[in-house]
Structure 1
Amino acid sequence: MLFNSINFAIFLPIVFILYWFFTKRNLKIQNKLLLISSYFFYACWDWRFLFLLLFSTLLDYLTGLKMQTSENQKQKKRWFWLSVIINLGFLGIFKYYNFFAESFADIMSNLGWTVSPLMINIILPVGISFYTFHGLSYIIDIYKNRIKAEKSFINYAVFVSFFPLLVAGPIERATHLLPQIKKQRSFDYFQAIDGLRQILWGLFKKIVIADNCAIYANEIFNNYADMNGSSLILGAIFFTFQIYGDFSGYSDIALGTARLFGIELLQNFAFPYFSRDIAEFWRRWHISLSSWFKDYIYIPLGGSKGGDWMRIRNTLIIFIISGFWHGANWTFIVWGFLNALFIMPSIIMKTNRNNIKTVAEGRLLPTIKEFIQMILTFGLTVFAWIFFRSENLGQAVNYILGIFSLSVFDIPKFDGIENSKTIIVLLIIFIITEWRGRENKYALERLKIIKSKTLRWIIYILVLLSIYFYGNFGETVEFIYFQF
């Protein structure tokens, strides 16, 4: 069930009405309703994988209780590693087995031996990387004595499978979400209105920006060998905005939907394309994943305490793992490695914390220095996205070689270039809107300060009309991060 589908437009109001008007605000009934709704939501993708979600949830729930009641640290550690190994084992089989098998065969082939690996033909369960990380963070926090094990299976299961975040995040922490699930909730009109406003902006990002950019990004990437350099640059930029509109749009819809039920999820994006360096970009892009890696891998590895070599090593490890988390393809690993290289100068010179505050905070325009920094950072990001989007390393390398050719000075030329002018205009409007709202959690949040109700509604209607007239409704395009 996609957020941008008719099915979800029917599903959400039904759950909302049942939640607030038929549960008599009974917390236990509300949580049971959320759990049933979440399992139904997930089963709409493929009901068979619901059993995998249930197994993972039950495993970590029971493991948490066993660790809590362990008689000694050795027993506690056994339960901990049992959960970690099984969780990562399932993730490895479903997501990475074929990749490792093919890579091993390629290595043997280069050494002169022919190997025919046993491949498995299985579908990747949607959201497995996200709900696996939910469970792992819970287990690790119990093991580190940061939290107590949750006694209620219903409460824990809602934490893992709450439908707004189930298939593409944000990656929640038990310390943040579980207390909200266990706390009595009452309807907050202003919270709900803010949720609807964020859902509206998320739909605009997805349907108007991402899905329209996808048309031209796909056209150029799929036919890159026939494109001139300027067209290839344009294709990379289209994909850059496609993936941002797609993923941050999903996050906006997820956070807005959660607010309708009185729950606040972690912010996942904070206007990353206005970053002044790569370090700032990664503090603003997929925030929940970046902070997960920092807290559960980077810091346990020693963080920044062991001198320059340890900081360099740990940073490289984190970005390689981040690339691998995104998919079983060398393109993702190279993408992660490139980002590690881009961020390394600031790590070595210890300038990675220079740009903490929002760019041009309290000002309408950035300084010339800030503008140049944003352009350079954006350019590096676009370059790295080429690897992320490419089917294989060969395509990525040839795509880049095509950019660095004399044809880069030619006028862009590809099928549909005339129609693409509309999305370019929409992108300019989108960038201006995002810039104006960059000091808020999402762009339209700043409408709260507008006292005129009429003006606010005019803006809402304009956004709705732009979705209706300029949205790509030709085919329902799945969110990119569903494959991760």
Structure 2
Amino acid sequence: MCWSARYALLLLASTFITYAGGLILEKIKKVDPLRKSFYYRITLIFAVGLNLFIIFYFKYSNFILGLMRAVAFRLHIDLHIPVIDVILPVGISFYIFQALGYLIDVYRRDIYAEKNFLQYALFVSFFPQLVAGPIERSKNLLKQLADTKKFNYENVRQGLLIMLWGYFLKMVIADRSAVLVNAVYAKYLEYKGFQLITANILFAIQIYCDFMGYSTIAKGAAKVLGFDLMENFHEPYFACSLKTFGEDGIFL
């Protein structure tokens, strides 16, 4: 992953597409309250499709092309498939899925379309959770962005404590677990059953504390600024289905 000034254009493009899509959906709803219009559905499909294309191109294009090269090699087919020179932009999944969440909320009539472009752009690019999440619900964050914020000592104190806990999860538990996990996984044939089981358990702890740490740091940073982010990472390992797993912990 990397960040470059030109990748800000992707953020701007996703923001503009979903902003315009929301306004169009809102306008169509006034003409067609039952939302049965062909244009109502096609607007959503078009806006979602453009955003998913951006993600697919930057995250999976070389992966798919690599599979095609491997298949061609196995089948002894002389097929020249180029390598696309792309680098995955930091946070692309988080801000695109947050923007798509807003658009779907407008489509479902859970919220009204945001008419202030700058306020909507701030929602999509809200920096505490821009790079590593958590993905925030539009109906929770947009209304907070509309409120005037003033310095609040208690918010700052609570936010810093939350951030401290997040750093503990990430730097003390996750990163320390990674040391043993990486050592075992690098030479797994040299280790026995108990050691492999221990490494697997620690790996589960590592990725949990990684994501939980990032989310907690983001929540703390937002709290310092006077914003309350929703809890969207809650005991994913105790989920009983893929649906509840997605609700309890978002891994993007």
> Taking structure 1 as the reference length, what is the TM-score of the superposition?
0.47
Instruction: Give yes or no for the alignment of 1:158 onto 2:122.
Output: yes
Counterpart position of 1:102: 66
Instruction: Give yes or no for the alignment of 1:45 onto 2:45.
Output: no
How far 1:88 sits from its partner (Å)? Answer: 0.6
- Aligned pairs for 1:178-193 (under 5 A) are 178-193=142-157
- Aligned pairs for 1:274-313 (under 5 A) are 275=238, 278-279=239-240, 283=244, 287=248, 289=250
2:165 to 201, 209, 213: 201
Counterpart position of 1:218: 182
How far 1:76 sits from its partner (Å)? Answer: 3.0
Work out whether residues 269 and 285 of structure 1, in 8 Å CA contact, stay in contact via their aligned partners in 2.
no
1:265 & 1:171 partners in 2: Cα distance? 9
Which residue type is aligned with residue 259 of structure 1? K
2:220 to 242, 256, 269: 256
- The alpha-carbon distance between structure 1 residues 99 and 245, as it changes in their structure 2 partners (threshold 3 A), is same
How far 1:272 sits from its partner (Å)? Answer: 4.6
Larger radius of gyration: 1
| SS of residue matched to 2:127 | coil
Counterpart position of 2:16: 58
2:245 & 2:65 partners in 1: Cα distance? 35
Work out whether residues 162 and 220 of structure 2, in 8 Å CA contact, stay in contact via their aligned partners in 1.
yes
1:192 & 1:54 partners in 2: Cα distance? 30
How far 1:248 sits from its partner (Å)? Answer: 0.5
How far 1:110 sits from its partner (Å)? Answer: 5.3
| SS of residue matched to 1:258 | helix
Q: Deviations 1:186-219 (Å, cap 9, x if unpaired)?
A: 4443333221211111111111111111111111
| SS of residue matched to 1:266 | coil
How far 1:263 sits from its partner (Å)? Answer: 0.7
How far 1:285 sits from its partner (Å)? Answer: 7.3
Counterpart position of 2:101: 137
1:144 & 1:286 partners in 2: Cα distance? 19
Which residue type is aligned with residue 45 of structure 1? W
- The alpha-carbon distance between structure 1 residues 103 and 280, as it changes in their structure 2 partners (threshold 3 A), is closer
2:245 & 2:46 partners in 1: Cα distance? 34
2:204 to 219, 232, 240: 240
2:142 & 2:193 partners in 1: Cα distance? 50
Work out whether residues 200 and 253 of structure 1, in 8 Å CA contact, stay in contact via their aligned partners in 2.
yes
Q: Deviations 1:423-464 (Å, cap 9, x if unpaired)?
A: xxxxxxxxxxxxxxxxxxxxxxxxxxxxxxxxxxxxxxxxxx
Work out whether residues 155 and 181 of structure 1, in 8 Å CA contact, stay in contact via their aligned partners in 2.
yes
Work out whether residues 217 and 239 of structure 1, in 8 Å CA contact, stay in contact via their aligned partners in 2.
yes
1:62 & 1:135 partners in 2: Cα distance? 11
2:111 & 2:247 partners in 1: Cα distance? 24
1:284 & 1:74 partners in 2: Cα distance? 33
Work out whether residues 199 and 253 of structure 1, in 8 Å CA contact, stay in contact via their aligned partners in 2.
yes
- The alpha-carbon distance between structure 1 residues 153 and 214, as it changes in their structure 2 partners (threshold 3 A), is same
- Aligned pairs for 1:59-138 (under 5 A) are 59-70=17-28, 71=31, 73-108=37-72, 113-138=77-102
How far 1:151 sits from its partner (Å)? Answer: 0.7
Q: Deviations 1:103-141 (Å, cap 9, x if unpaired)?
A: 344445555645443321211111111111111111112
Stretches of structure 1 that go unaligned for 5 or more consecutive residues are 1-43, 290-325, 327-483
1:62 & 1:82 partners in 2: Cα distance? 11
2:164 & 2:241 partners in 1: Cα distance? 27
| SS of residue matched to 1:164 | helix
1:77 & 1:243 partners in 2: Cα distance? 38
1:46 & 1:286 partners in 2: Cα distance? 32
Give aligned-pair identity as a percent.
40
Which residue type is aligned with residue 10 of structure 2? L
1:136 & 1:96 partners in 2: Cα distance? 19
2:175 & 2:45 partners in 1: Cα distance? 42
Work out whether residues 177 and 202 of structure 2, in 8 Å CA contact, stay in contact via their aligned partners in 1.
yes
Work out whether residues 235 and 248 of structure 2, in 8 Å CA contact, stay in contact via their aligned partners in 1.
no
2:189 & 2:85 partners in 1: Cα distance? 31
CA RMSD of the aligned region, Å? 2.5
| SS of residue matched to 1:279 | coil
- Aligned pairs for 1:408-423 (under 5 A) are none
Work out whether residues 94 and 133 of structure 2, in 8 Å CA contact, stay in contact via their aligned partners in 1.
yes
How far 1:284 sits from its partner (Å)? Answer: 6.9
- The alpha-carbon distance between structure 1 residues 61 and 253, as it changes in their structure 2 partners (threshold 3 A), is same
- Aligned pairs for 1:379-394 (under 5 A) are none
How far 1:68 sits from its partner (Å)? Answer: 1.8
> Taking structure 2 as the reference length, what is the TM-score of the superposition?
0.86
Stretches of structure 2 that go unaligned for 5 or more consecutive residues are none
Q: Deviations 1:367-393 (Å, cap 9, x if unpaired)?
A: xxxxxxxxxxxxxxxxxxxxxxxxxxx
1:62 & 1:123 partners in 2: Cα distance? 27
Work out whether residues 181 and 203 of structure 2, in 8 Å CA contact, stay in contact via their aligned partners in 1.
yes
